[in-house]
Amino acid sequence: LPIAVANRSQVLPDAATDDSGFVVVWHGFQKQKTDAEIFVRRIGENGIMGKFSILANGSRPKISWNGKRFLLVYSTVRQPNSNLVGETKCWTILNENMKVVSKGDCKWSNPEYALGVVPKDGGWLISMPGGPPGYWGRTIGIQKTVRITPDGSWESPSNDNHYNPVGPVPDNWLDTSWKRPKRDKKNGFREKAVWPWGKSSLAKMGPYSICAWQQYGVGGATGFSLVDSDIRIGRIRGWKSVDHLGGFALADSLENEVSPCLAAGADGVLLCVYEKRMTDGRRQICAKRVEMNQI
């Protein structure tokens, strides 16, 4: 289906489904405009396409249906009069007719994040990392979650101050390099700390959301390089982490395991598909099957 065909680039699509068919979002350019725009288009189950519409200036959109409404998350550039610079994330709740119900600012800027639906209450869950070592001078790595309620409220614990904790480790943190013990993997190959960073994935199973994320070692020649990624997994109820900090190892070998993608089956079984980067330069697609009672 020619969903977005134009003289200028149309890229990075995402899709969701509801009772009426499918909704596709992407970002692209049109005419002589220099800013990317977020487009949305409905596709019926019979393949008939509706007209596309423009929702906002922005890029890298993701969309999720919670049974009643869609949540769209995308990157945008802060306004010149803002006291912050660079990109941020915005969210928009849409009804089934693609009309805006509410919108707001997601309060973080990193491009890597995962979007899912919170079981039972119909809200949405966002999983995101903090930053890599040395990023804006930060000395802490984070993998955390926040929740957007069905009515459009942003929820996270009061001591979750963006990238740094206020007091104890917040309940919504799945993993962190903060006060983590040194972890050697092969003759001291892992140095100083572990560091969650990069892509993550969310799935819904029973009363929980399940998150898979990447965890690196910090070391290498510079002492701040991210080396040897593993994949961790943990359970979330609402926006709170259920399992201990750092979760459980899902793929933990001497090769790099990256780009996790979760799918939940009806029988209480999870499938995590990921990319395995071999030491000889080859890349493979692997998967692990996990039963809920194994987590």
DSSP single-letter state for residue 78: P
How many CB atoms lie under 10 A from the CB of residue 102? Answer: 13
278 vs 187: CA distance, rounded Å: 19
169 vs 178: CA distance, rounded Å: 9
Buried b vs exposed e over 117-144: b needs ≥16 C-beta within 10 Å? Answer: bbbeeebbbbbbbbbbbeeeeeebbbbb
**Residue 226 confidence (pLDDT):** 87
Mean pLDDT of 25-46: 90
Residue 57 corresponds to which tokens in the numbers above? Answer: 């200036």
**Residue 159 confidence (pLDDT):** 81
Coil/strand/helix, residue 190 = coil
Per-residue confidence band for 203, with pLDDT thresholds at 50, 70 and 90: very high
pLDDT exceeding 90 applies to what percent of the chain?
A: 38
62 vs 168: CA distance, rounded Å: 32
Higher local confidence (pLDDT), 82 or 155: 155
Residue 121 · residue 207 · CB < 8 Å: no
Residue 133 corresponds to which tokens in the numbers above? Answer: 């070592």
Q: Does 98 score more than 80 pLDDT?
A: yes
In sequence order, what are the residues at sequence separation of 6 or more whose Cβ sits closer than 8 angstroms to the Cβ of residue 15?
A: 22, 23, 24, 25, 63
In sequence order, what are the residues at sequence separation of 6 or more whose Cβ sits closer than 8 angstroms to the Cβ of residue 190?
A: 182, 183, 184, 217, 218, 219, 227, 228
Q: Does 136 score more than 70 pLDDT?
A: no
208 vs 254: CA distance, rounded Å: 30
Per-residue confidence band for 6, with pLDDT thresholds at 50, 70 and 90: confident
232 vs 214: CA distance, rounded Å: 6
Per-residue confidence band for 70, with pLDDT thresholds at 50, 70 and 90: very high
Per-residue confidence band for 294, with pLDDT thresholds at 50, 70 and 90: low
How many CB atoms lie under 10 A from the CB of residue 202? Answer: 24
Per-residue confidence band for 191, with pLDDT thresholds at 50, 70 and 90: very low
Pick the range with the lowest mean pLDDT from 147-156, 186-195, 229-238: 186-195
Burial class of residue 168, CB neighbours in 10 A (0-12, 13-18, 19+): exposed
Rounded to the nearest integer, the mean pLDDT of the chain is 84
Pick the range with the lowest mean pLDDT from 9-18, 93-102, 159-168: 159-168
Q: How far is CA 52 from CA 17, 34, 91, 136, in A?
A: 16, 20, 19, 38
Higher local confidence (pLDDT), 63 or 84: 63
Mean pLDDT of 161-187: 68
